[in-house]
Amino acid sequence: MTDNEHEIEQPDERVPKRVIGTPPPGTSMLGTVEAPRAEEEVPGVTLQDEAKARKAEKIVALCFVITFLAAIAFIISYVVFQVGSPEATGASNLALGSSLTVAILSLAIGIVIWVRQIMPKYSLVQERHLMVSDEEDRGVVGRTFVEGANESGFVKRKLLRRTLLLGAAPLGLIPLVLLRDLDNTKMPGSQFNKLLRHTVWGEKTKEGKPLRLVVEGTGQPIRAADFNSPGGILSVVPEGYEHDLNALAKATLILIKFRPEELKSGVRQNWTHDGIVAYSKICTHVGCPAALYEQNTHHILCPCHQSTFDAADGAKVIFGPAARPLPQLPITVDAEGYLVAQGDFEVPVGPSYWERGDAEAEARAKGGQA
């Protein structure tokens, strides 16, 4: 065995070391590396200035690093900020929304700068020509049209032509009628808008007396003297309509007993009786029953989308997607001491709809709640 056979082959130190995130030597992300060629000028292609491109490269890299950090912050926020109260839910939404916004925005900015300041610019020219058919083609089309009209009898048979035009004329008016119907306040005989604006609380009994408030489910009238525990809450419906689902869809109430000093300026005092306030139970977001009540904070919570209302301040929205307060119903007591409605709600109940703004304007003109 010769000395050469005992020699150990040493690695070639000139071979470049592979860096993490790069392809092996001799290949590229798109395949085998070709021999470098001198840059050739290609018509319509403008290469970016190398100095500006390197500067833009650093900005893009910074944007991508920010995206990474913001995405990590989103994951951490999801774990750290636990929901369970309006305050905790608000903090969680703020942290998650802010971090996700920064991550997506920085990624988008980096990609835009990459495309506009690093990649080559192309000038593309699209050749166009006149879109006019030659005389022969136009002649063929004209003759075909005339032959078809003659064969159909549209010109010869006047009865068919006139009845066709007669039948098609109203079809052109249908879109105008449908668009006109959007203004329900001016359509003769339309009751849609009226039904949305008003509830049965504005009606009277057969004896001409105002409707009493009765407990939902039992139909028991409510005597104000018996409903005297501060913090108490009842689900209430109008007497005589306990089983009318269409009426209850708008007229169901929540009745809350307050201490007089707990009521704030948002509550219409002349619509209350001895600290008893009646609000619509229909959430002003999408119409879910808002009946969860937190006695210590006087907050009414809608379980569908977590809209929260301050019952001590006119049921104003303090959290969630609802856009306006729960309407307050004016109440008083009758001669026997039972709670009754003074009249209907001054503003429409439930979610907003197309003409609700007109009703709001009328209420403001009367000095009602907005």
**Model pLDDT for residues 116-162, shown as the tens digit of each residue:** 888 888 887 777 777 788 889 989 999 998 888 888 877 778 888 88
Give the span between the Cα atoms of 322 and 316, in whole angstroms: 10
pLDDT given for residue 18 in this prediction? 60
Q: Which residues contact 59 (CB under 8 A, 6 or more apart)?
A: 110, 113
Query: Over pLDDT 70: what percentage of the chain?
Result: 78
pLDDT given for residue 83 in this prediction? 72
Between 84 and 271, residue with greater pLDDT: 271
Give the span between the Cα atoms of 100 and 72, in whole angstroms: 10
Task: Say if residue 368's pLDDT is above 70.
Answer: no
The DSSP result for 18-38, as a single string, is PPTTSPPTTEETTEEPPPP--
pLDDT given for residue 323 in this prediction? 86
Q: How far apart are the first and last CA of the chain?
A: 104
Among the listed residues 173, 221, 198, the one whose alpha carbon sits nearest the alpha carbon of residue 280: 198
Phi and psi angles of residue 141, each rounded to the nearest 5 degrees, phi first: -65, -45
Give the number of other Cβ atoms within 10 Å of residue 211's Cβ.
20
The DSSP result for 289-320, as a single string, is B--EEETTTTEEE-TTT--EEEGGGTTEEEES
Where is 341: in which H helix or E strand? strand 339-341
Phi and psi angles of residue 331, each rounded to the nearest 5 degrees, phi first: -130, 160
Give the span between the Cα atoms of 250 and 196, in whole angstroms: 8
Between 311 and 35, residue with greater pLDDT: 311
Between 210 and 38, residue with greater pLDDT: 210
Is residue 356 a contact partner of residue 126, using CB atoms and an 8 Å limit? no
pLDDT given for residue 188 in this prediction? 44
* Strand ranges, E, within the chain: 27-28, 31-32, 45-46, 121-122, 213-215, 233-238, 253-257, 276-280, 292-294, 299-301, 308-310, 316-319, 328-329, 331-333, 339-341
- The overall average pLDDT reported for the chain is 81
Query: Over pLDDT 90: what percentage of the chain?
Result: 39
How confident is residue 235, by pLDDT bands cut at 50, 70 and 90?
Answer: very high
User: Can you tell me which residue has the tokens 């990459």?
Assistant: 114
Task: Say if residue 16's pLDDT is above 80.
Answer: no
In 121-157, where does DSSP find H-type helix?
A: 135-152
Q: Which residues contact 1 (CB under 8 A, 6 or more apart)?
A: none
Is residue 301 a contact partner of residue 241, using CB atoms and an 8 Å limit? no
Query: How much is the average pLDDT of 322-344?
Result: 93
Query: Per mean pLDDT, which of 45-49, 122-126, 201-205 is the most reliable?
Result: 201-205
Between 334 and 184, residue with greater pLDDT: 334
Total residues found in the chain within this entry: 370
Going by CATH, does the domain composed of 195-369 fall within 2.102.10.10?
yes
Query: How much is the average pLDDT of 173-182?
Result: 69
pLDDT given for residue 271 in this prediction? 94
Task: Say if residue 369's pLDDT is above 50.
Answer: no
Sign of the alpha-carbon dihedral angle for 232, 238, 243, 245: negative
What is the residue extent of each domain of the chain? 1-127, 138-180, 195-369
Between 295 and 186, residue with greater pLDDT: 295
